[in-house]
Each structure stands twice: as structure tokens, then as C-alpha cells.
Structure 1
Amino acid sequence: MNYAEFSKRLETISGITVTPFNKATKAVDWEGVKANVEFLINKGVKVIVPCGNTSEFYSLTLAEAKEEISRVVEYTAGRASVIAGIGYAVDTAIELGNHAKQAGADGVMIHMPIHPYITNTGAVEYFKNVIQSINLPSIIYFKDPHLSDNLLSELAPLEQLVAVKYAVNDLPRFAATVQSIDPAHHITWICGTAEKWAPFFYQAGAKGFTSGMVNVYPEKSFELLHALEAGQTDQVWKIWKEILPFENLRAKYNSGNNVVVVKEAMERLGLRAGVTREPVGELDMQDKQAVAELIEAWGLKLQTT
């Protein structure tokens, strides 16, 4: 494995998959998972991430998470890189990561530990143990602003660490971290807070961004990426303004709307999103109307009401 070469694959949009749940039973709609993977691949997405936060990872059982990883690898069939989201306790994350490896995933994205008590040294050990136990290209999902970026400096020499999905919206902090880590460590920096923040992170050193909106309107996400890559500043901000209302709607209620807005938009476009699982509830009528108006403003055709 040439980890430096692999890191270059991530200089693009990381499409976080949606997990469709049946409205009546809340069971996973596996045919919907397949349809959504096909949609992303047909629209040109080259990095697909099952079991991310937009996938409602923390609403899945361990068995469901494993099955989602296996099925996404199967459905992708080598046409894109599959980066499997893994997390929870160290042993659970390793179990999920080794399952992903056996299933044929190309790499793993390690979620920030969900724990009421976390220290910098403990977080370093968490990520190091997981990365070294799986031996696949690994991405760290860094989103806890209370942790020091020094932990990234400590982990950077690990050969398997190919990228950091940085999701703390502190641009001076991010830029300083990027500048402090030797480029020889072949880390690709990814904006972890999607299209809304991508132009800012790109100027500070990011080379790609994650996206949930790509499940709805991938053409617009790629317009932004290509404008960033080409340095077309005026075009970047024009596209950004078109995207901003959608991302702001997702950010409502302390980002409680993050997934359900994507699912509402997908359903209105005739895609397979289904409902969300608890603790995310249905959108209120005002927000549903806002989604419909945004879709119409983009010039997309509403399929459902």
C-alpha cells in the first residue's frame, strides 16, 4: 500500500451516504442504500463514506453498521473508494475496522470518541490503537474543539494516517495546524463541515470537503469543488450563495436538522431517503416548505409532496 498516493484520492468530495429507514418499521431499506450508492457513483462521486454522521451512524446497531459497510462495498464494486465510518469504544472501532477490511473497504474514517470524559493523551491513544490495529488507510474525524490540535501532530507520523477530516470551524486554528505539520507525512486535509465552510478551509489548506448535500444536488457540489480547484474566486462565491440557504437550514437547532433536511430534499426529488431514526424527529411544516422552496430555486423538479 502506497499511503502517500492513497491520500491524493481524498482531494475531492467525500460523499457521506444516507441510510434510508422504512417509515413504518424504521428498518434499513437496503434497496434504498443500493439506489443511493448508484446515484452518487453515476454523478461522479469518487469517495463514498458509509456510516458517517449523515448516515446516522449512531442510530445503527453494530450488526447494521457492518452490513451497511459490506453492502456499500459490494454496490460500489470498485468504481469509487469506500471509506467506512467506525467508532465507539476502542475494541468496537477495531472490530468494525477489521470487518471493513475483510469486506474490501479501501479505508476507514474514525469518529471522534463519544465519551463524557476525554483527555488529549487518551484521544491520542484511542486513535493510535485503532489505526495500528486495522492497518488500512485511516482518516481521523476531528471535531472536538476542547482537544488540542497537538494530538494531530503526535499522530501525523503514523504511515496509515492519510487524512484529517477537520470539523472545528476555527480557521486560524486550522491554518496554524496545517502549517505546523510536515507535508512529508502525506496528510490530506479535508473540510469536515461541508460546502458552507469549504471555501474558507480551502484557502487555509484543505484539499477536499465532505458533503451530505451531494445526495441531493451533486452537480452543485462539484461546481463548487471545481471552482475552488481552478481558483475562480467570483464563481466560488456565486455558487456558495446558492448553497448557503440549504446548509443554514441543516444547521438549525444546533445542527439537529442536519440529516432530516437532506432526507426531506431527497424524498421530494423522488430519491430513496426514508425517515430518520430517533433522536432525530420529522421536520416541522415551516422547514418542509423551506426545503421545497430551495429545491425550486435551484431549478430542480419536485417529484413528491
Structure 2
Amino acid sequence: MCGWHLRTETAGGDGDVVARLRDGMARGVLSFPLTSFGADGSLDLDGFREYVAAQVATGPGAVFPACGTGEFFSLDEDEYRQVVTAAVEETAGRVPVVAGVGYGWAQAARFARIAEEAGADALLVLPHYLVRGPQSGLVAQVEHIAARTRLPLIVYQRDQVAFSLDAFRRVAALPNVIGLKDGHSDLDRLQRLTLAAPDGFLFFNGAATAEIQARAYAAVGVPAYSSAVHAFAPEIAAAFLAALRDGDGARVDRLLREFYVPFVELRDRVPGYGVSLVKAAARLRGRPVGPVRAPLADPTPADLADLERLLSTGLALVSESPQNPENPTPTLTGAAR
């Protein structure tokens, strides 16, 4: 079996992980931390530790290191081990740590074993590499990974992974598959999946900028979401979540109109800005995250100037929050480090 260890029983703490994730998802957005690199592209582990500590201090529902925003696709196995280990140590059990795994199932299982050894609580199964497969192949991909780890799995459907109702039922029936992250925003399909899911199964909104569609997802029973904005401006992410939960539609609309929609329009200018723009914004806030790795590219000077103006607008909106009427306007480098 080429060194694979097949799972013979699910982890004894699965129920605890599900409960902690459900509680965290009810309290706050999900943090997908950026991975810090030096100017030469090398892993900056000290910078990553500082950054994760700042993210955890904002009270996210869970921390998902080495996923898409964390440039999982650019990490080798040793770097991956260091990143996941550091995330586990910096969270210190305060919130669940869900590490990304991906590529084909064989490589995903290698990353799963590393994450398990590093102390991760669960895994996010990222879409497989390059090829499209039939529904039977999508199911088999998850089956192979699930059979080779004791950690609970959350599967991520986006791009070339979109489960049919029958395929979803087969995946959700696997003992250590506990949830689904959706990035397709096909709410008709998603509603069918939520209705077919086992009791206690977790769902969350994984759209590229999830706040844009947060109300629509909540309408089909999926209120929890990940937030790319939380990676660089947790104040803005928190203000939006508070307005959403308070039913303050006017404030939700204003945040969407003046910050989130312009941010999406800026993000859509260049392929890869879904990560590199987020990382540039974090640098503007003084976060030690460094540049992106190729094939991504950092924003152009013109786009960076637009980003800085937009970030200032978003932070100014936070200062008007009814929850913090007397707070001064946050500055670009003013968040906790």
C-alpha cells in the first residue's frame, strides 16, 4: 500500500470537533489565514505565527491554515508541516484548526497524515488537481482520502467539483465526512443537498467573497461563511456580520455597496487577485505576510492605490458602527498585531 495507513475507525473526538465547529460557526466568521513569505519567497514562519495570533485574537469560529487563501498549492510538504504545526500552536486549542489537503487522493492523503501528526482537528478537502471527473470519481476521491486518515473531513465543492444529489449522499454517509463547503453558489442544488444531509452535517458558504451572497445562502439554511476580508480587515468582517445578524438591512446594503462590491470588482480585474489582493491589503495593515508566490502576482501600483482607497473607505464605515459609536476610525495599520 506504499506506506498508506487505512482508517479502521473514526477518530474518537469527531463529535467534539463537530460541536466545536458548529459553535464557532455560530459565533463568528471562519478565518483562512494567509501564509507569510519573505521577499525572496521563502517561508517566513515567525511572520506567520504573528499573523495567526492576530487572527485568533479577533475571535473567528475556526482557523483554516494552508487552504486556498493560504497558498496551499505553493507549499511543499515540509513547509506545509511547519505552517499547520504553527497554526495549531498559536491557536492553543482556543478554536478548531482545519488544515487544507488537495491534489489527487494519493498526495492529499500524504498531506492528511502530516496534518494529523501536526495536531490539526479536521481537514478541508480542496478540489483535486486539473482534471474533471465523473460523479463516481468525485466520490472515490473522497473515499480514498477518508480511508487514510482518522481526522474528520469537510469537502469543498467548487470549480471542477460539484456533487450530484446521489454523489453527495454517498460522500455524506462516510463516517468521518462532517461537512461541505460550497463555492458554486448554485442555491437550487445547495438547497437539495441541505435537505438530503444527515442530521448534524455542517454546511458553509465558501463563495469567493462570501458576504456578497451571505443573505442568499442563509435563506437556504447556510448562514455560516468564510471571509477573505477577515484575513486583512477583521473589523470590517465583524461589522458586516453584526449588521447581518441584527437584521440591519440598511447597514448591510451600505457595506456591500461602498466596500464589498467595489472590492469584488477590483478583485475581478486580474486572475489570482482573490489571493494576491487580500495579501496586499494585509500588508497595508502592517501584517507580516510578504508577497505571493508564482504563478500569482502582486497587484499593480494602480490597483494597489485603488485598494488602499477602498480599504480606507471600509475602515471608515466601521467607525460608524452602532456597536462602536465612540470608537475612532481604524487606521490602515491600526489593527491588533
Q: Kindly provide the amino acid, as one letter, of the partner of residue 138 in structure 2.
A: A
Within 1, Cα distance between the matches of 2:161 and 2:69?
23
Q: CA deviation at 1:220?
A: 1.9
User: For this pair of structures, how many residues does the alignment match?
Assistant: 300
Matches within 5 A, 1:81-230: 81-144=96-159, 147-150=162-165, 151-179=167-195, 181-184=196-199, 186-193=200-207, 194-230=210-246
The answer on 1:239 being equivalent to 2:255 is: yes
Stretch of structure 1 that moved more, 276-285 or 5-14? 5-14
The answer on 1:251 being equivalent to 2:268 is: yes
Q: CA deviation at 1:4?
A: 4.9
Please give the per-residue CA displacement for 1:184-225, whole angstroms capped at 9, x wherever unaligned: 2x2211111122222221222213111221121112212333
Determine helix, strand or coil for the equivalent of 2:292.
Answer: coil
Within 2, Cα distance between the matches of 1:71 and 1:121?
36
Within 2, Cα distance between the matches of 1:131 and 1:61?
22
Determine helix, strand or coil for the equivalent of 1:48.
Answer: coil
Q: CA deviation at 1:295?
A: 1.7
Within 2, Cα distance between the matches of 1:108 and 1:148?
18
CA contact (8 A) 1:142 1:168 kept: yes
Task: Show the counterpart of 2:325.
Answer: none
Gaps of 5+ in 2: 1-12, 317-329
Higher strand proportion, which one? 1
Determine helix, strand or coil for the equivalent of 2:154.
Answer: strand
Q: Describe the shift of the 1:297–1:77 C-alpha distance in structure 2 as closer, same or farther (beyond 3 A).
A: same
Task: Show the counterpart of 2:304.
Answer: 288
CA contact (8 A) 1:17 1:48 kept: yes
Q: Describe the shift of the 1:232–1:301 C-alpha distance in structure 2 as closer, same or farther (beyond 3 A).
A: closer
Determine helix, strand or coil for the equivalent of 2:147.
Answer: helix
Please give the per-residue CA displacement for 1:149-195, whole angstroms capped at 9, x wherever unaligned: 3322221122322211100022222223223x1442x2211111122
Stretch of structure 1 that moved more, 122-131 or 155-164? 155-164
Determine helix, strand or coil for the equivalent of 1:134.
Answer: coil
Stretch of structure 1 that moved more, 229-238 or 149-158? 229-238
Q: What is the percentage of aligned positions where both structures have the same residue?
A: 24
The answer on 1:301 being equivalent to 2:331 is: yes
After superposition, the CA RMSD in angstroms is: 2.1
Q: CA deviation at 1:10?
A: 5.2
Stretch of structure 1 that moved more, 222-231 or 27-36? 222-231
Determine helix, strand or coil for the equivalent of 2:87.
Answer: helix
Within 2, Cα distance between the matches of 1:168 and 1:49?
19
Determine helix, strand or coil for the equivalent of 2:63.
Answer: strand
Within 2, Cα distance between the matches of 1:108 and 1:271?
26
